[in-house]
């Protein structure tokens, strides 16, 4: 993870760039953000086994890079996320039809993809246990894809938050955030007073540290979201769904 471009240029614009280097950088970011949802989607919706799903995931991105199919996205017609899922559906359907006739795998490789970890995550997914059941309805499939996309976005932003806190010597800020918002081992959230005692800081600092970490998380999320959206309109819509606010508004 952590392969998002440092600039705020849209990844979606980058994948259509005539500059091969810019296109490559954009594709790495795109793969980082989407490979997990793509893999899990292929596993669950298309009911492919692990190896097959891993191959199809890699090949989907490799083929898209070679052919530039994702660069043909039209923002007026759909969100990029929806477009990518529809492209994936078309790709997998064609692959299944052509199985045995086409050479597997592409020559292009992107960021390393940890399919074993994705498989482990999938083992707890309820839909993964219904492999023999009928295919999910369209909206469920879209939900699944979106949910995994959101999960990836948050995972990446949390990773970036951890790295920036460590770099800035703000480990206690991250520790408060981790214990209060991230730690899902505890059945019940600790109180601010418990956290203060645990980390030997005043209760007021718990409030401040948590506010800081959340603000940073929000900023990192929006930064990543912006890079994954094709237009300002799409960015606003996604941000509103994800965070409940119009990211372009400013204090009155």
Partner 1 sequence: MSALSDAALRRLRDAAEAPDLTGTKYEIVGRIGQGGMGTVYRARDRELGREIALKVVRLPEGAPDIAARMMREARTLALLEHPGIVPIHDVGTLADGRVFYAMKLVRGAPLHELPGVSLPERLTIVERVCEAVAFAHAHGVVHRDLKPQNVMVGAFGEVLVMDWGVAKIVGDTTVSLGVGSVAGTDEHAEPTTGHGVVLGTPGYMAPEQAAGDPSLVDARADVYAIGALLRDLCTGNPESTHSDGAGDVPRPLRAIIRRAMSPDPRDRYSDVTALAHDVAAFRAGDRVTAYNENLFERARRLALRHSTPILLVLAYLLMRLTFLAVFGR
Query: Closest distance between partner 1 and the C-beta of residue 22, in Å?
Result: 26
Q: Does 223 bind partner 1 (CB under 8 A)?
A: no
Binding test (CB under 8 A) with partner 1, winner from 69, 181, 194, 201 = 181
Nearest CB to partner 1, comparing residues 98 and 167: 167
Tell me, by CB under 8 A, how many residues bind partner 1.
40
Collect all residues with Cβ–Cβ distance below 8 Å to 183 and sequence separation of at least 6. Answer: none
Residue 220 DSSP SS3: helix
Q: For residues 99 and 86, give the distance between their C-alpha atoms in angstroms, rounded to a whole number.
A: 20
CB atoms within 10 A of CB 233: 12
Q: Are 221 and 166 in contact (CB under 8 A)?
A: no
- CA-nearest of 45, 213, 18 to 139 is 45
Nearest CB to partner 1, comparing residues 117 and 193: 117
Nearest CB to partner 1, comparing residues 24 and 214: 214
Query: Closest distance between partner 1 and the C-beta of residue 115, in Å?
Result: 12
Collect all residues with Cβ–Cβ distance below 8 Å to 101 and sequence separation of at least 6. Answer: none
Site of interaction with partner 1 (CB under 8 A)? 1-2, 36, 117-118, 121, 124, 150-152, 154-156, 158-159, 162, 177, 181-184, 207, 211, 214-215, 217-218, 221, 236, 240, 242-247, 249-252
């Amino acid at each position: 993870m952590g392969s998002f471009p440092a600039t705020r240029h849209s990844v979606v614009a980058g994948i259509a760039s005539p500059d091969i280097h810019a296109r490559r950088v954009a594709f790495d970011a795109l793969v980082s953000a989407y490979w997990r949802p793509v893999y899990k989607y292929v596993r669950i919706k298309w009911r492919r086994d692990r190896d097959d799903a891993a191959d199809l995931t890699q090949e989907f991105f490799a083929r898209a890079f070679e052919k530039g199919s994702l660069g043909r996205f039209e923002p007026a017609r759909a969100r990029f996320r929806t477009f990518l899922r529809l492209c994936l559906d078309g790709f997998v359907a064609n692959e299944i039809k052509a199985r045995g006739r086409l050479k597997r795998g592409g020559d292009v490789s992107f960021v390393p993809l940890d399919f074993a970890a994705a498989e482990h995550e999938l083992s707890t997914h309820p839909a993964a246990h219904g492999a023999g059941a009928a295919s999910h309805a369209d909206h469920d499939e879209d939900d699944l894809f979106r949910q995994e996309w959101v999960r990836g976005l948050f995972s990446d932003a949390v990773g970036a938050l951890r790295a920036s806190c460590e770099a800035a010597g703000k480990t206690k800020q991250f520790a408060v955030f981790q214990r209060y918002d991230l730690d899902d081992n505890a059945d019940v959230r600790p109180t601010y007073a418990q956290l203060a005692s645990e980390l030997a800081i005043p209760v007021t600092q718990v409030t401040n540290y948590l506010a800081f970490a959340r603000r940073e998380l929000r900023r990192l999320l929006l930064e990543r979201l912006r890079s994954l959206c094709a237009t300002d309109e799409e960015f606003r819509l996604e941000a509103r769904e994800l965070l409940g606010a119009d990211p372009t508004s400013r204090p009155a």
